Amino acid sequence: MQGALLYIGDHVNQYTPGGYPMRGPRTQRRIVKRMKLTKHEHANLVLDKGNETLVIDPGAFTTPLTDLRNVVGIVITHEHPDHWTPEQLDRILEMNPEAKIYGPQGVAVAAAVYPVIVVHDGDEIAVGEFALRFFGEKHAVIHSSFPVIDNVGVIVDGTLAYPGDSFTVPPIEVDVLAVPAGAPWLKIGEVMDYVAEVKPKRSFPTHEMVLSVIGKNMANERIGSVTESNGGKFFALEPGDTLDL
C-alpha cells in the first residue's frame, strides 16, 4: 500500500504502509496583503486590500463617491448625516450591489430601507479580506438636550482604529488611530487626552470639515504633539492623501 497525504490545518498526516500516522509541521508560504488607506473629506475612509475595498462613514460632508469598485463592506458608525446619506449609499451600491452594510441599531433604524447588519461592542466579523472588530456603544455627549445615540468604533485588521464620534479607547494596542479633530461634541483638550491615553504608533486627523483652515492647523499641531510625545508619528492627511498600513 502506498503512503497517502492528508492536509489538516497546519499539519500533514502521513500514513505509512502499515497504517500508522506520522505527524509533521506543514510548511506554508503565507502571502501578506498590504492595506492602503485613503482619507476623504470629514469622516470618510476608504481601505483597499488586494482587489477589495472597505468604505467607512460615507457622509454628507464628503464629496460624492462615484468611482468605488470592488466594495465588499460599508461601515457606518452612527446615524448622523455627516457619516452616511442615502445618496452616498446608493452611489456605492449601484456599482457594488453585493456590498454588506454594518452599523449599530440606530443606523439600522435610520437606514431601514437598506439591509443593515447590526453590530455591537465586541463583535468580530470577516468581510472579504478585511477583519473587523467593533468597539464602543454610544456617541459622545453633545448637550443634555440631545439624545445620546448608538455609536460603534471599528478596528480593521488589528491595525487601524477609528472610534466614530466618541472617545472610546480601543481594546488593543493601536498602530494607526483616526483621531476626531473637530466637532460640536469635543474640545481639543479632550482630543489630546484621548490620544495620550491610546498612545498610537501613528495617527491622523478625521472629522475636520467643521473647522476653518486655521482651526484645522491648530488641531493638527495639538494631535501631532501628543502623538509624538509618546513616540508615535503624526500624518496631517488631507482629502485624497493615502497611508500604507
Q: What is the pLDDT of residues 104-142, one digit of tens each?
A: 999 999 999 999 999 999 999 999 999 999 999 999 999
Close Cβ partners of 130 (under 8 Å, ≥ 6 residues apart): 47, 49, 52, 54, 72, 73, 156, 157
Mapped onto helix, strand or coil, the DSSP state of residue 7 is: strand
Rounded to whole angstroms, the Cα distance separating 127 from 183 reads 30
Q: Which residues sit opposite 177 in a β-bridge?
A: 161, 203
Please tell me what DSSP assigns to residue 150.
B
Stretch 81-106: mean pLDDT: 98
Rounded to whole angstroms, the Cα distance separating 240 from 137 reads 30
For 50-65, the pLDDT digits (tens) are 999 999 999 999 999 9
Boundaries of every domain in the chain: 35-235
The dotted CATH code for 35-235 is: 3.60.15.10
For 231-240, the pLDDT digits (tens) are 999 999 999 9
The separation between the first and the last C-alpha atoms of the chain, rounded to the nearest angstrom, is 51
